[in-house]
């Protein structure tokens, strides 16, 4: 009996609850204003923009086993070697380093935004200008790197301030290159004038040297002529002396021959006398 009464009360409560909910849905409250329906064509639609992708590169720094340091953009890292892109004088080169020559404990990598990497390369090449050593290549590489930095910013949807700064840097380099060109042309003209003046001075110096050499040569020729005349006179005197000497020798030989003949006759006479004396005894 008690269970039947409980079930009856529960059913009545559920009926009353459902009846009140239906009334609240069909009739809005008197204090609430009725909101007009918004047409579907006037409903604002917000589309979320995709987040721009910012490209980056991996930078690497390490020590070689011989103590030299290497830094640059990491192109490849495999078990046997490291390939690094780095500036070298007036260009960008890619070098391969064997890990047998690398102190692998010192290898450190870090990410860098791509536009920052190319901006730093551009600053490197800009700093090399005006030393009059491969300056045309330095100007070209600086502008090229700034252009790549600008392209990276545009692809990443960056704000326009950085792009404006890069455009200003490119414009400054272009203006500097024009000034450099005028300076080089002016220096070339000045060098030509200096060369012409130096060539004229050298020519005059050579002419003076040739004139002095001609004077010395003439003096040497005169001295040689004088010496030749002296030798000729000495030779003549020597021939004369030799002739006189020959005559004296012939005369002395003739005198000696006469004396020998006289001595021979004297000896023969003595021998004859000695022979006669021996016979007389």
How many CB atoms are closer than 10 A to CB 193?
10
pLDDT mean over 126-138:
90
Give the DSSP letter of residue 46.
-
Pick the more confident residue, 12 or 84: 84
CA geometry: angle at 36 spanning 30 and 40, to 5°? Answer: 150
Pick the more confident residue, 236 or 181: 181
- Cβ 145 vs Cβ 122: under 8 Å: yes
DSSP H helices in the chain: 2-26, 114-127, 135-155, 160-280
How far, in Å, CA of 142 to CA of 173, rounded?
Answer: 8
- Could you report the per-residue pLDDT of 192-217, keeping only the tens digit for each? 777 777 787 788 888 888 988 888 89
pTM of the model: 0.51
- Cβ 59 vs Cβ 111: under 8 Å: yes
How far, in Å, CA of 70 to CA of 63, rounded?
Answer: 6
How many CB atoms are closer than 10 A to CB 97?
15
- Cβ 55 vs Cβ 114: under 8 Å: yes
Measuring CA to CA, how many Å separate 251 from each of 21, 226, 256?
Answer: 184, 37, 8
Residue 114: which of 143, 154, 168 has the closest Cα?
154
Q: What is the pLDDT of residue 38?
A: 44
Find which of 26-30, 33-37, 251-255 is predicted with most confidence, using mean pLDDT.
251-255
How far, in Å, CA of 10 to CA of 129, rounded?
Answer: 95
Find which of 4-18, 33-47, 51-65, 88-102 is predicted with most confidence, using mean pLDDT.
88-102
| Pairing label, strands 91-98, 102-113 | unpaired
- Cβ 45 vs Cβ 33: under 8 Å: no
- pLDDT range class, residue 14, cuts 50, 70, 90: low
Residue 126: which of 155, 109, 149, 108 has the closest Cα?
149
């Amino acid at each position: 009996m008690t269970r039947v009464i409980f079930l009856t009360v529960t059913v009545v409560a559920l009926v009353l609850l459902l009846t009140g909910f239906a009334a609240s849905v069909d009739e809005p409250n008197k204090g609430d204003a009725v909101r007009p329906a918004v047409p579907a064509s006037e409903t604002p639609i917000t589309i979320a923009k995709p987040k721009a992708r910012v490209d980056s590169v991996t930078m690497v720094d390490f020590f070689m086993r011989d103590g030299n340091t290497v830094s640059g953009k990491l192109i490849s890292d495999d078990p046997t070697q490291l390939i690094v892109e780095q500036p070298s004088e007036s260009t960008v080169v890619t070098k391969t380093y064997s890990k047998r020559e690398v102190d692998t404990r010192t290898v450190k990598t870090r990410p860098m935004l791509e536009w920052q990497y190319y901006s730093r390369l551009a600053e490197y090449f800009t700093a090399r200008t005006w030393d009059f050593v491969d300056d045309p290549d330095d100007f070209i590489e600086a502008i090229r790197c700034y252009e790549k930095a600008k392209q990276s910013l545009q692809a990443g949807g960056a704000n326009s301030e950085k792009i404006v700064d890069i455009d200003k840097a490119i414009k400054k380099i272009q203006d500097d290159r024009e000034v450099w060109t005028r300076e080089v042309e002016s220096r070339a003209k000045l060098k030509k004038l200096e060369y012409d003046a130096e060539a004229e001075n050298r020519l005059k110096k050579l002419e003076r040297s040739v004139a002095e050499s001609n004077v010395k040569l003439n003096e040497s020729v005169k001295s040689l002529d004088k010496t030749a005349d002296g030798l000729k006179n000495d030779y003549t005197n020597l021939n004369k002396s030799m002739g006189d000497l020959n005559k004296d020798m012939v005369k002395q030989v003739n005198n000696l021959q006469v004396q020998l003949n006289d001595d021979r006759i004297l000896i023969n006479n003595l021998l004859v006398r000695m022979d006669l004396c021996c016979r007389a005894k």
